[in-house]
Copies of this chain bind each other. A is one copy, B any other.
Amino acid sequence: MKPKIQTFDLLKLASGDQLSLQVYQFIGKKSDKKVYIQSNLHGSEIVGNAVIAQLIDFFSGLKPEQLDGEVWLVPICNPIGTNQRNHFFATGRYNSYDGKDWNRIFWDYEKNCQDLEGFVKAHFKLDSLSIQESFLKQQKKAFTKQLDKIQGSSSAPLYEQYRYQLQSLSIDANYVIDLHSSSNQGIDYLFCFPGKQEESAKYFNIDYGISMNTYDGDAFDESFMKPWLALEKKFKELGRDINVDRESWTLELGSGMQMNPQSVAVGVSGIKNYLVKKNVLKLPNYSPQITEIKLVSRQQIKSYYAPTGGMVQNRMSLKHTVKAGDKLYQIISFNKQGKLPEIIDIYAENDGFIFDVSTSYSVNQGEYILALLSLE
């Protein structure tokens, strides 16, 4: 099966050169469902590009009969972020023009939907598919209004023009997977939405997940999922349990500026397994595997910041288990007051394991050092 490859103009640079988005679409025999997978929204988080490259290979080897639905793949979905450099480093987590985090800019219909209750009441008796179709139509209508602004004389800031292009590709998907990694050095885990989606989390071959009891605001996964969650909730409030066939995932696959082969393998196998479970992908003699994923809340992850400036040494390594009171790391703190350098010991506040560590061992006061996942 060959993909349909489409290229979209994204942004014209001051130089007259054009940045584009390119989508690889694998379209199965039946195509009622749409899976949307993107990578590299944050500049240094490149691992998903290898995952998608391998998925393109994999799907190319399938027969159309093996796919019930469409799979859209968008590697390097944020060229500005991907190409940004300061010294040898990929610093495109935020746009160096305005400081905006590329994953806190998306259009969230939940915030724009004016009369959700009216919608629910008007569609209360329809079947679930028709409700979703109708809600999507309404969502798209509101979404498209952004275009009036963009095409107007005063146009719109870069991030609004960008998100419009990217969300145009994903807004009507059933399953959205956004491939990230730590900007520093991290383990593999995923973000999932609390509720029914937690059941599906078991199919990604990943050991840890964060169940999002709170939101960062305007993240890609949130902006896709929040309107659908609100719809479900409103129906429930009014007395009906509908089944919305939408899921949104952020996979965090290892470390920044790297494509660790093991993390790539986890991403590829997890996505295949998930798609088999979702009946989108049909593989002979394969039944989806379940991984006992440990779901935690954001509050169980505690970030440690430098209490003073200096150089970090003897830091416990990634995945290391610690007890409250264990020494986590030291800072060699220099001074300019004529004193000897000081070694400061920092201790764990909780039991847990090292979830993420900074790439840099040099810290100004208040810079990030590590994150500890508490398992109680």
Contacts and interface: CB of A to CB of B under 8 A. Distances in A.
A118 interface: no
Given A12-B308, A161-B366, A309-B12, A360 B88 contact: yes
Contacts of A362: 14, 43-44, 46, 82, 90, 257
A6 B339 CA distance: 9
A158 B305 contact: yes
Interface in A26-75: 43-44, 46, 49-50, 53, 56, 60, 75
A99 interface: yes
Interface in A345-376: 346-349, 358-368, 372
Contacts of A53: 311, 332, 341, 343
A16 B332 CA distance: 10
B259 A313 contact: yes
B76 A154 contact: no
Contact of A50 (B19, B332, B365): B332
A347 to B, nearest CB: 5
Interface in A288-332: 302-313, 328, 332
A303 B159 CA distance: 14
Interface of A: 3, 5-7, 11-22, 24, 43-44, 46, 49-50, 53, 56, 60, 75-76, 79, 82-83, 85-91, 93-101, 150-162, 183-184, 257-259, 261, 302-313, 328, 332-341, 343, 346-349, 358-368, 372
A97 B152 CA distance: 35
Give this chain's copy count.
Answer: 4
A338 B6 CA distance: 6
Contacts of A152: 349
B367 A97 contact: yes
Nearest to A314: B261
Contacts of A334: 15-16, 22, 49, 75-76
A184 to B, nearest CB: 6
B86 A156 contact: no
Specify which of A15, A156, A304, A306 lies most central, judged by the most chain B CB atoms within 10 Å of its CB.
A15
Given A53-B341, A86-B89, 17 more contacts: A5-B339, A11-B364, A13-B82, A14-B311, A14-B362, A15-B76, A15-B79, A18-B336, A85-B96, A86-B86, A87-B94, A87-B98, A89-B360, A154-B302, A154-B349, A157-B303, A158-B364
Given A22-B335, A82-B362, A86-B87, A56 B340 contact: yes
6 contacts: A22-B338, A44-B360, A46-B362, A53-B341, A94-B94, A97-B364
Given A154-B305, A362-B46, A364-B11, A85 B99 contact: no
